[in-house]
Amino acid sequence: MPEETIFSKIIRREVPATILFQDDRVTAFRDINAKAPTHILIIPNKVIPSTNDVTPEDEGVLGHLFIVAAKLAKEQGIARDGYRLIVNCGRHGGQEVYHLHMHLMGGRPLGPMLMPAG
Ligand code: DGP
């Protein structure tokens, strides 16, 4: 069994978070360190540490992350102007929490996708 992170405690509501959506497969809550007016994390309830650990049986839940992202973007009023979905993986990807998560960010122009190559 992969190791749990703080995100499992958020799913079980053992630590506080602003949960915007939850069903039997995914949970969505506001990022504690928001980098945009809307910054939401959408995560599978099942612990998948990173995209390196994804298996074919995860296809359904990973597709569901996009469905929930689109629904939340509409609800948050950012769908028309657009937004960014990010999944970080590993050290070079800047992943801090090893429970796969999709960032939904919007509410202002987000600028170029990456810093210039250095
Ligand atoms: P990443 O770098 O992709 O692993 O992003 C992890 C994000 O998780 C980061 O933007 C901050 C957020 N985060 C970390 N701990 C907590 C927490 O306890 N609560 C909430 N709401 N967000 C958290």
CATH number of the CATH domain containing 57: 3.30.428.10
| CA atoms of 86 and 39, how far apart (whole Å) | 11
Relative to the CA of 39, which ligand 1 atom is closest? Answer: 10
Tell me the best of 4, 10, 33 to mutate to test the pocket of ligand 1, counting ligand atoms within 8 Å of each CB and taking the most: 33
Please check whether residue 36 lies inside any domain of the structure: yes
Round the CA-based radius of gyration of the chain to a whole number and report it. 14
Please check whether residue 10 lies inside any domain of the structure: yes
Please check whether residue 116 lies inside any domain of the structure: no
Please check whether residue 112 lies inside any domain of the structure: no
| CA atoms of 10 and 12, how far apart (whole Å) | 5
Instruction: Report the number of distinct structural domains present in the chain.
Output: 1
| Cβ neighbours, 10 Å, residue 16 | 10
Annotated catalytic residue within 39, 99, 101, 103? 101
Tell me the best of 4, 14, 41 to mutate to test the pocket of ligand 1, counting ligand atoms within 8 Å of each CB and taking the most: 41
Number of H helices, E strands in the chain: 3, 5
What is the extent of the structural domain holding 65? 6-106
Please check whether residue 113 lies inside any domain of the structure: no
pLDDT at residue 22, as a whole number: 98
Indicate whether 115 pLDDT > 90.
no
- How many angstroms does the Cα of residue 82 sit away from the middle of ligand 1? 22
101 is catalytic: yes
Tokens coding 94: 């800047």
| Residue 5, CA distances (Å) to 48, 49, 95 in order | 11, 9, 13
pLDDT at residue 116, as a whole number: 79
Q: What is the pLDDT of residues 7-24, one digit of tens each?
A: 999 999 999 999 999 999
- How many angstroms does the Cα of residue 79 sit away from the middle of ligand 1? 23
Q: What is the pLDDT of residues 46-93, one digit of tens each?
A: 999 999 999 999 999 999 999 999 999 999 999 999 999 999 999 999
Indicate whether 118 pLDDT > 70.
no
Average pLDDT over the chain, rounded to whole?
97
Please check whether residue 111 lies inside any domain of the structure: no
More confident residue, 113 or 89: 89
Please check whether residue 47 lies inside any domain of the structure: yes
Please check whether residue 19 lies inside any domain of the structure: yes
Give residue 3's Cα distance to chain centre.
Answer: 18
